Chains A and B, each alone.
Chain A
Amino acid sequence: MQLSREALLRAYRQMKLIREFEERLHVDIQTGEIAGFTHLYCGQEAVAVGVCEHLSTDDKIVSTHRGHGHCLAKGCDVDGMMAEIWGSRDGLCKGKGGSMHIADVDKGMLGANGIVGAGAPIAVGAGIAAKIDGKGHVAITFSGDGACNQGTTFEAMNMAVVTKAACIFVFENNHYSEHTGFEYAVGTQKDIASRAEAFGMKIWRGDGTDFFSVFETMREVLDYVRVPGNGPAAVEFDTERFFGHFEGDPQRYRGPGELDRIRETRDCIKKFRASVTSAGLLTDADIDAVDADVMDAIENAVAKAKAAPRPKPEDVLEDVYISY
């Protein structure tokens, strides 16, 4: 199905926003001003955006330790996210959560998560709630090729099937869990979706480096799961992570030239641009204008995060119901 000019521009802007958000963090983290562990989503933008462009705020997502892309794609405020990662009082979680725990429940974003595999069961709960409410809303859990080995993920898949939860398991296979290759760690080699199928789910597969592949695949998945009574589904997207597992990872597990090659041939943003301009759907000028707009938004978010008030020591005891 042909997307409108507005829809194309929006999807591109979302992907570019994630890309530049992460590229900027990659630079700023090296100054030492940003604390904590940060896992960048660069390279996987087409998955988050291709999924979330189908969703309303009533649809829920549950994310991972690599959550910035999912959060932005689901509509979390860029300034609030940047401020959170900078640990400021204006952050989406007031500086209490940081990169791994960004959440905005009002936007249907039920949290990034520092515990690998913790998100899937939460999405089952949200998917059961969606089923009970009967309005065709869904809950989506993003999991990596590493997270798919957790018992929590297996339990969640089976429970989603038996409860007919309106739940979608999106597996982002970026081929690595930390420093270990998925062909070593996933016994069903080269395949996560077949596991989901074995649990009794209808499955799909798509190219996670191609927005249109993700978007069209997700249209089918969502058409299926939104039908009351159909229950859950799973989809695996093959994708790439452009940075290390965390910022500071020396990445010695990569092959020679691997990073250059995936940046050259597997970049969802380059592919999108090439495909829409060659089809005459958007012009280079259209895209350059979005790029400029995104760069301004990021610049602005960083400036605000730096200028934002720092948390005060007494804030530690805010949002508790009892203190000792």
Chain B
Amino acid sequence: MARMMYREAVLSTIAEEMERDENVVVLGEDVVGGNGTAGGPEAIGGIWSTSTGLYGKFGADRVIDTPISESAIMGAAAGLALTGKRPVAELMFADFIGVSLDQIWNQLAKFRYMFGGKTKCPAVIRMAWGAGYNAAAQHSQAVHHILTGMPGLKVVMPSTPADVKGLLRTAIRDDDPVIFLEHKALYGVKGEVPDDKDFMIPFGHARLTRAGNDVTIVSTGLLLGFCEAVADKLAAEGIGCDVIDPRTTSPLDEEAILDSVEVTGRLVVVDETNPRCSLAGDICALVAEKAFASLKAPPLSVTPPHTPVPFARELETAYLPSIPKIEAAVRKVLSYR
């Protein structure tokens, strides 16, 4: 085991996979950082420090610094993937799917099915997502509900350094397009990570981060930590919460959620996307359809409101689900009947 930050887990996994397979290539804006300047390549490196040193090790053919051209980056990832490479493309902020969505949605995602199963498309699209930095409406969004709704994409959302390691390795070795969502607020979080260079976590397997028999809480990203804090607080009062991190939203580990709700009879889903057509709504519907008989209370979701992400500190705090809001929701499902 090694102790490392979430961002270090991203970088070291990419480096290990590039070492292992010469078809793995990295592309994105400023992933080299400093090209065409007096400081030279790697003067700075990517803004998230998730590509530092790759250029020096693997060279310009495999670590491709791109102009600000998200559509072409995503399209190039598609073309690389169709022609035998394993691109790991970086979209600096998840919000920029807006600029590049056609290449992700109508191209990458559809090849395998639309071409009659005759092709692989092993592309990984990494992107930094989430609020908490007062980066305002166009640099703070949660987009996993949009991408999860697109057939053909696998959507991965690691919450710990170990999950980054295991899931990113699986993503790079996977033959289908994978969206890999890195929460900005987690980049600095440290954790134990297995040393095994083949350590992989299969997609579609949730992680139970707290165990209890009274309420099931499902969450991911920054908010998962909030849910764990609530579970710990309630545990001291003798209330037990199952806290489930789905880890991948497509495929979704339905069984883990349904099994838990069959025991607890109560569900709270906490998510950072806006409430309509959301992950929270999706999981509540899943439970209503498939575990209705087990329910002791209506499923509840805690999400931001149906607004863009506001800038000011007070507003962003009010926008995001908080520990008190999550606790109130859990107490509400507990006190139902």
The reply to whether B310 and A316 form a contact with Cβ atoms under 8 Å apart is yes
Asked whether B44 lies within 8 Å of A310 as measured between CB atoms, the reply is no
From A250, A255, A320, B306 is in contact (CB under 8 Å) with A320
Question: Would you call B39 an interface residue if the criterion is a C-beta within 8 Å of the partner chain's C-beta atoms?
Answer: yes
A37 to B139, CA, bound (A): 9
Asked whether B87 is an interface residue with its Cβ less than 8 Å from the other chain, the reply is: no
Residue B163, interface by CB 8 Å: no
Q: A115-B98, A180-B33, A184-B35 are in contact. Are A323 and B305 (CB under 8 A)?
A: yes
How long is the Cα–Cα vector from A149 to B69 in the complex, in angstroms? Answer: 6
Contact with A along B127-157 (1 / 0, CB 8 A): 0000001111111000000000000000000
Asked if A49 is at the interface (CB within 8 A of a chain B CB), the reply is: no
A179 part of interface (Cβ distance < 8 Å)? yes
A36 adjacent to B37 (CB under 8 Å): no
Q: Is the CB of A35 within 8 A of B315?
A: no
> How far apart are B58's CB and chain A's nearest CB, in angstroms?
18
- Once bound together, how far apart are the Cα atoms of A322 and B274, in whole Å? 13
Decide yes or no: A253 and B44 within 8 Å by CB, A181-B37, A184-B36, A316-B319 being known contacts.
yes
Q: Is the CB of A313 within 8 A of B318?
A: yes
**B306 and A116 form a contact (CB under 8 A):** no
Are A179's CB and B33's CB within 8 A? yes
Asked whether A181 and B36 contact (CB < 8 A) given A87-B311, A117-B68, A324-B276, the answer is yes
The reply to whether B36 and A185 contact each other, CB–CB distance below 8 Å, is yes
| Interface status of A151 (Cβ within 8 A of chain B) | yes
Measured CB to CB, the nearest residue on chain B to A181 is B36
Q: B275 — which chain A residues lie within 8 A by C-beta?
A: 324
Q: Mark A183-200, 1 if CB is under 8 A from B, else 0.
A: 111100000000000000
User: How many pairs of residues, A versus B, come closer than 8 Å at their CB atoms?
Assistant: 171
Cα separation A152 to B297 with both chains bound (whole Å)? 49
B38 within 8 A of A: yes
Answer whether residue B286 sits at the interface, using C-beta atoms and an 8 A cutoff: no
Q: How far is the CA of A36 from the CA of B39 in the complex (A)?
A: 27
Query: Which residues of B lie under 8 Å from residue A151 when comparing CB positions?
Result: 69, 71-72, 99
Chain B residues near A114 (CB-CB < 8 A):
95, 136-139
| Binary contact readout A234-258 vs B (1 if CB under 8 angstroms, 0 otherwise) | 0000000000000001101111101
Assess whether A179 is in contact with B34, with CB atoms less than 8 Å apart.
yes
Which residues in window 77-117 of B have CB below 8 A to A?
95-96, 98-99
The minimal Cβ–Cβ distance linking B291 to chain A, given in whole angstroms, is 24
Select which of B29, B40, B307 is within 8 A of A320 by beta carbon. B307
B63 to A: closest C-beta gap in Å = 13
Closest A residue to B133 by beta carbon equals A36
Pairwise interchain contact A87-B313, C-beta atoms closer than 8 A: yes
Q: Which one of A17-25, A95-103, A265-273, A291-299 contacts B? A: A95-103
Question: 10 closest pairs, A vs B, by CB?
Answer: A184-B36, A181-B36, A255-B38, A87-B312, A98-B311, A114-B138, A35-B134, A95-B312, A313-B318, A149-B67
Binding site for B on A (CB under 8 A): 35-37, 87-88, 93, 95-98, 100-101, 113-118, 146-147, 149-152, 176-186, 249-250, 252-256, 258, 310-317, 320, 322-324
25 sample A-B contacts, Cβ–Cβ < 8 Å, listed by A number = A36-B133, A36-B134, A37-B133, A37-B136, A87-B134, A87-B314, A96-B308, A97-B311, A98-B136, A98-B311, A100-B136, A114-B137, A150-B69, A177-B68, A178-B30, A179-B30, A181-B34, A249-B44, A256-B38, A315-B310, A315-B318, A316-B305, A316-B318, A317-B307, A322-B306
